[in-house]
Amino acid sequence: MAISLRGLTKVYGTGAGAVKALDDITLEIPDGAIFGIIGQSGAGKSTLIRCVNLLERPSAGTVKVGEVDFTSLSGEALRQARKKVGMIFQSFNLLSRRTVFGNVALPLELAGWPKEDIRCRVAELLALVGLEGRRNHYPSQLSGGQKQRVGIARALANNPEVLLSDEATSALDPGTTRSILALLRDINEKLGLTILLITHEMQVVKEICHGVAVLEKGRIVEQGPVFDIFADPKERATRDMLGQDLDAELPESFAGLDFSREPLPGSDLVLRLRFFGDIAAEPVMCDLIRRFDLDVNILTAHIDHLRNMPYGTLVIGLSGEERQRQAALKALRALDLRVEVVGYVAKALRRAM
Ligand SMILES: Nc1ncnc2c1ncn2[C@@H]1O[C@H](COP(=O)(O)OP(=O)(O)OP(=O)(O)O)[C@@H](O)[C@H]1O
Ligand SMILES: [Mg+2]
């Protein structure tokens, strides 16, 4: 189910001590998407996700899940509507005195399911999350990753259409994080579940999200498809979040150089190319050299992965005839690449570095 937030605002407290944790958030999360919200500590991420299922009542604005306006509901109607929304937590929130079976069965018991149906459903859920053999274990006998699998099974018990995840992998090591993210992706594909996850880790967004919004001081400063945000972050907050992922910087030896917009005699034309998916850099470069009779100098190259798809940045210097360089630039722009002209820089200068 789609999630639609309109003008969502949350103020904690009143008077001088009031804190505006969310400020006019409008966001559409399409049905079936894995959507990430990323932000620094205190940005309002937990508040936002808790407002989606009305664990926190917004001060203003509306939350719609599918066609249902959650903000108009309360009491029993809200409790019923919430069954469509499962939630998992950083700290797992398992009951230590219940077994794995007992934890997963809890929401079904609360919903009044018959015992036999509960047994079947829990077995199915434990198989889905890969915990068949752990049915009678207690949380204290499980690893962090296994605990989160129990949390996921419990969240899915009532067949929700939406899964909310509040930093579900933040307490896990990188390997376990990957396996939990793979499970979430699997669930998204198998069950068509819409997943809204919040995180402060860019890696999480890179591995599984389709779309992402950047939250800063209660406001969304940037949002879009994950690739667009990675390839071309517009806002300072986004660049800060990307941190070392911002691989698109120029080589250090270029720091402090003056790039000219006009071709100086004997200068290199420096281009930054960003590609996504199957465009392989090598044939593109060979083609430039061959077709346009240019020297192509690769200054930096970096390849990473988004949802298993390669993406990368290449900074190249072209030297040769200006007319040929412009023709090459045009050819590059026709490809499935983002091309940015950094500028012209004197060759002699670069050689001196
Ligand atoms: N129950 C509350 N009462 C008063 N202020 C609160 C409450 N919960 C959160 N806040 C404030 O709202 C702001 C946003 O907090 P929130 O927990 O949503 O941030 P967060 O992005 O989840 O941070 P973190 O990454 O540290 O979990 C913070 O300034 C916080 O102090
Ligand atoms: Mg939080």
Gap between the Cα atoms of 263 and 275, Å rounded: 26
Residues of the chain with pLDDT under 50: 244-247, 348-349, 351-353
Both 220 and 263 in one domain: the answer is no
CATH number at residue 221: 3.40.50.300
Both 240 and 256 in one domain: the answer is no
> By residue range, what is the domain housing residue 94?
3-244
The bridge status of strand 194-199 relative to strand 162-166 is parallel
Last residue of a domain, one of 187, 215, 244: 244
Angle in degrees, 0-180, between the axes of helices 144-156 and 100-110, rounded to the nearest 10 = 20
Q: Measured in whole angstroms, how far is the alpha carbon of residue 259 from the centre of its chain? A: 34
The DSSP code for 44 is S
Distance 21 CA to ligand 1 centre (A): 7
The ligand 1 atom at the shortest distance from the C-alpha of residue 200 is 25
52, 72, 135 from 205: Cα distances, Å: 20, 31, 31
Both 209 and 273 in one domain: the answer is no
User: Is 45 a pocket residue for ligand 1 (Cβ < 6 Å)?
Assistant: yes
User: Is 44 a pocket residue for ligand 1 (Cβ < 6 Å)?
Assistant: yes
Of all protein residues, whose CA lies closest to atom 24 belonging to ligand 1?
41
Q: Which two tokens stand for residue 98?
A: 């219940």
Angle in degrees, 0-180, between the axes of helices 174-191 and 144-156, rounded to the nearest 10 = 20
Q: What is the pLDDT of residue 243?
A: 62
User: Is 86 a pocket residue for ligand 1 (Cβ < 6 Å)?
Assistant: no
Q: List, for residues 157-179, the tens digit of each pLDDT value.
A: 999 999 999 999 999 999 999 99
Q: What is the pLDDT of residue 121?
A: 97
Both 50 and 190 in one domain: the answer is yes
Of all protein residues, whose CA lies closest to atom 5 belonging to ligand 1?
12
Q: Which ligand is nearest to the CA of 47?
A: 1
User: Is 34 a pocket residue for ligand 1 (Cβ < 6 Å)?
Assistant: no
Distance 90 CA to ligand 2 centre (A): 9
Both 189 and 274 in one domain: the answer is no
Both 74 and 137 in one domain: the answer is yes
Q: Which two tokens stand for residue 252?
A: 């250090």
Distance 49 CA to ligand 2 centre (A): 9
Q: Which ligand is nearest to the CA of 45?
A: 1
DSSP-assigned states of every residue in 139-191: GGGS-HHHHHHHHHHHHHTT--SEEEEESTTTTS-HHHHHHHHHHHHHHHHHH
Q: What is the pLDDT of residue 250?
A: 67
Distance 54 CA to ligand 2 centre (A): 16
Both 190 and 299 in one domain: the answer is no
The ligand 1 atom at the shortest distance from the C-alpha of residue 56 is 1
Both 201 and 277 in one domain: the answer is no
Last residue of a domain, one of 244, 265, 291: 244
**Contact status, residue 320 vs residue 292, Cβ threshold 8 Å:** yes
Both 192 and 295 in one domain: the answer is no
Q: Which ligand is nearest to the CA of 23?
A: 1
User: Is 238 a pocket residue for ligand 1 (Cβ < 6 Å)?
Assistant: no
Q: What is the pLDDT of residue 352?
A: 41
**198 by DSSP, 3-state: which?**
strand
Listed residues: CB within 5 A of ion ligand 2: 45-46
Q: What is the pLDDT of residue 338?
A: 83
Residue 203 burial by Cβ neighbours in a 10 Å radius (0-12, 13-18, 19+): middle
* 277, 283, 286, 291: CA torsion to nearest 10: -90
**Contact status, residue 145 vs residue 179, Cβ threshold 8 Å:** yes
Gap between the Cα atoms of 103 and 45, Å rounded: 26
Neighbouring C-beta atoms of residue 346, cutoff 10 Å: 17
The DSSP code for 278 is S
Last residue of a domain, one of 207, 228, 244: 244
User: Is 89 a pocket residue for ligand 1 (Cβ < 6 Å)?
Assistant: no
DSSP-assigned states of every residue in 226-257: HHHHHHS--SHHHHHHHGGG-TTSPPGGGTTP
The ligand 1 atom at the shortest distance from the C-alpha of residue 218 is 14
Contacts of 182 (CB under 8 A, 6+ apart): none
* Ligand 1 pocket, mutate which of 46, 49, 52, 217 (most atoms under 8 A from CB): 46
Number of domains the chain is built from: 2
